[in-house]
Amino acid sequence: MSWLDDADDLEDDFEDYDESSVRSRPNPKANRPRTKRRPAHEDAQIGRVLGVDRGRYSVLLDEDGDDERTITAARARELRRTPIVTGDRARVVGDTTGEQGTLGRIVGIVDRTSLLRRSADDTDQVERVIVANADQMLIVVAAADPEPRERLVDRYLVAALDAGIRPLLVVTKTDLADPSSFLGHFDGLDLEVFTSARDVMPTERIGAALVGHSTVFVGHSGVGKSTLVNALVPTAGRATGHVNQVTGRGRHTSSSTVSLRYRSALGSGWVIDTPGVRSFGLGHVDPANILAAFTELAAIAENCPRGCTHLADAPDCALIEAADAGELGETGRARLDSLQRLLQTFADKPEPHGTGR
Ligand code: GDP
Ligand code: ZN
């Protein structure tokens, strides 16, 4: 069982919590009579969901405005079945002052630009929503301790590309091992790569890539992700060091997904730290989304037979024919290899799912 399952359970416990039982201070804006306009909620304010803790959402209102504040909110009963996650834009009504002891009410979610999900495993059709509206994924792997596994990175890449999220890669602990041969596996990808060593963290370079984006950080525990987050966001206070090997949980501060603001002279961005996501099940992934990330190959693949897998044994695959005819060049060849490896990641699935394959 993962922390995510736990979080869901906790949320369930709070589902029927009635926010009206919480004493709230009078708020001149909120105190307008609660008439029949409930479904429309025209006066809702839109805020950024920073994190969720036991059915309570931290929502940032008036982001970068004069009245920026973080409020606590509960979700309205009608949203009981709607997952609301870090990064969501929530419509909030009720007491939105953010004063201590007050509670707003989330009455809706703005359409998401992206949604990072996973299945519990490849055959589990129950989706776990992890992060909404991220446009980048920073994959953190260690050059050693723990040993980097390219297949795990492939799975992160597939999850990112499927969600339309741009992947970035950081290799930490390069003081312990040379990452070159590991990195060679990703030559064919549009992947910005950073290397980091103890005492030589490229925080400025990584920071520059964060400005103007919402970047979800993922990585196996122990790779140095919290160390990196703390270096980028000094106020983050993410717990580092030993992580419980049995549960994969760190201490409390890093047991839930949170949004943290990165700031530098260049501007600001959002870091979304996800603890303990050890893998992404790929049950929901659509191969077409992976191919689409390889724009120039996708154009060639339009000449493939219907339902072509583009894998090495695919009959009449236009990509393989182009490669065999020497039309792809060396880079194109490497990119086809990468594409095929990513497609293979879920061609290996025990139970194929969906259509279009
Ligand atoms: P997380 O589980 O991914 O959040 O990893 P942590 O940030 O807690 O780091 C795990 C361990 O690796 C800690 O003992 C860190 O001090 C150590 N660590 C982090 N980055 C580096 C690095 O670049 N080099 C070395 N040698 N150790 C590191
Ligand atoms: Zn093909």
Instruction: Identify the pLDDT of residue 125.
Output: 55
Which listed ligand is nearest to 243 at the C-alpha? Answer: 1
Instruction: Identify the pLDDT of residue 28.
Output: 52
More confident residue, 99 or 117: 99
Confidence check: pLDDT of 250 > 80: no
Confidence check: pLDDT of 129 > 80: no
Instruction: Identify the pLDDT of residue 152.
Output: 85
Mean pLDDT of the chain: 82
- pLDDT bin (cut points 50, 70, 90) of residue 131 is very high
- Averaged pLDDT for residues 284-308: 91
- pLDDT bin (cut points 50, 70, 90) of residue 14 is very low
CATH fold, domain 45-109, is OB fold (Dihydrolipoamide Acetyltransferase, E2P) (2.40.50)
In the reported structure, the alpha carbon of residue 305 is separated from the centroid of ligand 2 by a whole-number distance in angstroms of 7
Confidence check: pLDDT of 154 > 70: yes
> Where do the structural domains in the chain lie, given as residue ranges?
45-109, 115-273, 287-347
Instruction: Identify the pLDDT of residue 6.
Output: 34
More confident residue, 1 or 109: 109
Q: Which of 240, 257, 258 to mutate to test the pocket of ligand 1 (most atoms within 8 A of CB)?
A: 240
Give the closest residue (by CA) to ligand 1 atom 16.
Answer: 241
Q: Which of 81-85, 89-93, 109-113 has the lowest mean pLDDT?
A: 81-85
In the reported structure, the alpha carbon of residue 350 is separated from the centroid of ligand 2 by a whole-number distance in angstroms of 22
Which listed ligand is nearest to 336 at the C-alpha? Answer: 2
In the reported structure, the alpha carbon of residue 224 is separated from the centroid of ligand 1 by a whole-number distance in angstroms of 3
In the reported structure, the alpha carbon of residue 307 is separated from the centroid of ligand 1 by a whole-number distance in angstroms of 44
CATH 3.40.50.300 fits 115-273, yes or no: yes
Which listed ligand is nearest to 315 at the C-alpha? Answer: 2
Instruction: Identify the pLDDT of residue 69.
Output: 96
Ligand 1 pocket list (CB less than 6 A): 172-173, 175-176, 196-198, 219, 221-227, 240-241, 243
- Averaged pLDDT for residues 205-217: 97
- pLDDT bin (cut points 50, 70, 90) of residue 330 is confident
- pLDDT bin (cut points 50, 70, 90) of residue 50 is very high
**Three-class secondary structure assignment of the chain:** CCHHHHHHHHHHHHCCCCHHHCCCCCCCCCCCCCCCCCCCCCCCEEEEEEEEECCEEEEEECCCCCCCEEEEEEECHHHCCCCCCCCCEEEEEECCCCCCCCCEEEEEECCCCCEEEEECCCCCCCEEEEEECCCEEEEEEECCCCCCCHHHHHHHHHHHHHCCCEEEEEEECCCCCCCHHHHHHHCCCCCEEEECECCECCHHHHHHHHCCCEEEEEECCCCCHHHHHHHHCCCCCCCCCCCCCCCCCCCHHHCCCEEEEEEECCEEEEEEECCCCCCCECCCCCHHHHHHCCHHHHHHHCCCCCCCCCCCCCCCCHHHHHHHCCCCHHHHHHHHHHHHHHHHHHHCCCCCCCCCC
Confidence check: pLDDT of 30 > 60: no
Q: What percent of the chain shows pLDDT beyond 70?
A: 77
Question: What pTM was estimated for this model as a whole?
Answer: 0.81
In the reported structure, the alpha carbon of residue 215 is separated from the centroid of ligand 2 by a whole-number distance in angstroms of 32
More confident residue, 106 or 11: 106
Give the closest residue (by CA) to ligand 1 atom 5.
Answer: 224
